[in-house]
A and B are shown apart, each in its own frame.
Chain A
Amino acid sequence: MENKNNTNEKPILLLDNVSIRYITGDFKEIGIKEYILRRITRKYHVKEFWADRHITFSINRGDMLGIIGTNGAGKSTLLKAISGIMRPTEGYVEIGGKIAALLELGSGFDGDLTVKENTYLRGAMLGYTKKFMDDTYRDIIAFAELEDYENSAFKHLSSGMKSRLAFSIASLVSPDILILDEVLSVGDGAFRAKSEAKMKSIINGGATTILVSHSIGQVRSMCNKILWLDHGKQIAFGDDVKGICDAYEKYLQTKVLPENIQGAVN
């Protein structure tokens, strides 16, 4: 706390020349027998490709970074590297605080366990303490409007209820860096509004946020920095939100990548 000024100047997140090589191919869900057979018959194909290539940027405390790009641009892979789930093949990621990644909220629950048990398990996964869960459990259930289902098996919930619960648990995070992958709002009608308000209050609470969204309008209105990825390449990065978003929308129509844009890395 003493050198607060110091930490303010230092970027809270820094990616230096980060490249991630991804492999896909025939190696998934095969057995030893098949592996050997395919090796012998030369039908064993593994494709390597760079999901992200030479990504370099940094953001400071309080920034709200929007990552844009079409499908397969390498956004999700990059988020996995930032949250530590994946290790970059080259380059490095430097993080100056606690990080919480809310990726694909709906999965990872256990259908056989009750709602209560799943709530605790998910809380533990997100790094909450037991005491914190004991204290906030009632609020979570109330926010998700699942008071009548606490002891039912999770598999008996409707998908709307599941995502409500997932959101309610996740929305209690208080990280230094918050990563949101299309989870700004979930559920239907009333809950959608409620969850969006909750998310906004977390973002406004001062957390540095990284937002991946397909809604360019959302990115325009909320973010102060933009990273544009295309097929793993960094097309643009910078605080010229309007300029980059305009260029991106133009690209979506013309399919021609712009030249001489802020923060491009070749």
Chain B
Amino acid sequence: MNKTKKESVVSRFLEHKFLFTELVKRDFKKKYKRTYLGMLWSVLSPLLTLLIMSLVFKQFFGNRTEHYTIYLFCGNIVFSYFSDATNGGMGSLIANSSIFTKVNVPKYLFLFSRNVSSLINFGLTLAVFFIFCIFDGITFTFGFFWLIVPILCLIIFNIGVGLILSALFVFFRDMQYLWSVFTTLLMYMSAIFYTTDSFGAYEKLFLLNPVFVYIKYFRIIVIDNSFPSIQYNLLAIGYALLAFAVGSLFYKKFNHKFLYYV
């Protein structure tokens, strides 16, 4: 029973492959408003943030952490991808309500396509990140290929959170303010510009924050040049699957109710 159900979801997605690519194109074009500087801007913006943070914490606060710029950068790219994908994905259902109230299409397509634009953005900053790694004297090893694990986890995690948020946003229009407050809070709790070793016994509490888990995964591979433990991998994968499962359940439950709320 379950198997046929699963296949039908896949075949339904494939059926709408063309629509999906058109939606991705649309979201991408709209995001960059047809300017090439727009795309450049999405790389410049995190770089400027990085520059400011690096100046503030290195020069003013005298942070002496090794590879501190890269340490910051790891936190920044992971967090901005998370923030961009979830904040943008939240509105994807509402923004496309004029489509799904008139055509019978799988509604998650709108969220997925919005996530693809965020992912492309993330890919661009990731490229800049690697360039910075070279400048900072970090040697590339085959271990870098392991970055695919946290990246895949992030993609799935962001889609999962986006599924939950976009559904909630249909019902409660003040979700966007609550979520932006929450993301700010989460940013300060994700150890982007500080290190966690000063927290002693409480350090483990950071692992409750999935975004921190993914940031740290990056740092372990890029800065420490080592591999996270199996438990750590399971934790990272677990968060992603959990978010995705909860998000899918939300959609399954509310799929036919969205129509009444838009």
Contact = CB atoms under 8 A, between A and B. Distances in A.
A85 B104 contact: yes
Given A86-B259, A120-B22, A125 B173 contact: no
A84 B255 CA distance: 12
Given A29-B173, A86-B259, A112 B30 contact: yes
Interface in A69-115: 80, 83-87, 101, 103-104, 107-108, 110, 112-113
A130 B17 CA distance: 9
B30 A107 contact: no
A128 interface: yes
Given A101-B103, A124-B22, A125-B103, A32 B256 contact: no
Contacts of A84: 104
Contacts of B22: 120-121, 124
Interface stretch (A20-28, A196-204, A253-261): A20-28
B102 interface: yes
Q: Binding site of A, secondary structure by majority: helix, strand, loop or mixed?
A: loop
Which of A34, A84, A85 has the most chain B CB within a 10 Å cutoff? A85
B172 A32 contact: yes
B172 A35 contact: yes
A128 B18 contact: yes
A83 B260 contact: no
Nearest to B19: A124
A129 interface: yes
Contacts of A129: 18
Contacts of A31: 172-175
A1 interface: no
Interface string B4-40: 0000000000011011011101100110010000000
B145 interface: no
Interface string A43-83: 00000000000000000000000000000000000001001
A33 B21 CA distance: 37
Contacts of B23: 121, 124
Nearest to A107: B98
A190 interface: no
Contacts of A34: 174
B178 A32 contact: yes
Contact of A30 (B29, B33, B173): B173
A245 to B, nearest CB: 28
Contacts, number: 79
Contact of A108 (B33, B102, B172, B260): B102
Interface residues on B, range: 20 to 34
A9 B102 CA distance: 30
A108 B105 CA distance: 13
Contacts of A85: 100-104, 259
Contacts of A121: 19, 22-23, 26
A124 B33 CA distance: 22
Contacts of B152: none
Contacts of A113: 26, 29-30
B129 interface: no
Nearest to A112: B30
A126 interface: yes
Nearest to A129: B18
A117 interface: yes
Interface string B69-99: 0000000000000000000000000000011
Given A27-B261, A121-B23, A129-B18, A33 B174 contact: yes
A22 B259 CA distance: 10
A117 B103 contact: no
Contacts of A128: 18
Given A85-B259, A121-B23, A124-B19, A30 B100 contact: no
Given A31-B172, A85-B104, 8 more contacts: A32-B178, A83-B104, A86-B259, A107-B98, A112-B29, A117-B26, A125-B105, A129-B18
**Which 8 pairs from chain A and chain B are nearest by CB?**
A31-B174, A124-B19, A84-B104, A124-B22, A87-B256, A108-B98, A32-B172, A124-B18
28 contacts: A23-B260, A24-B260, A27-B261, A29-B173, A30-B172, A31-B172, A32-B172, A32-B174, A32-B175, A83-B104, A85-B100, A85-B102, A85-B259, A101-B103, A107-B102, A108-B99, A110-B26, A110-B30, A112-B33, A113-B30, A121-B22, A124-B16, A124-B21, A125-B105, A126-B103, A127-B16, A127-B19, A128-B18
Interface of A: 22-24, 27-35, 80, 83-87, 101, 103-104, 107-108, 110, 112-113, 117, 120-121, 124-130, 133
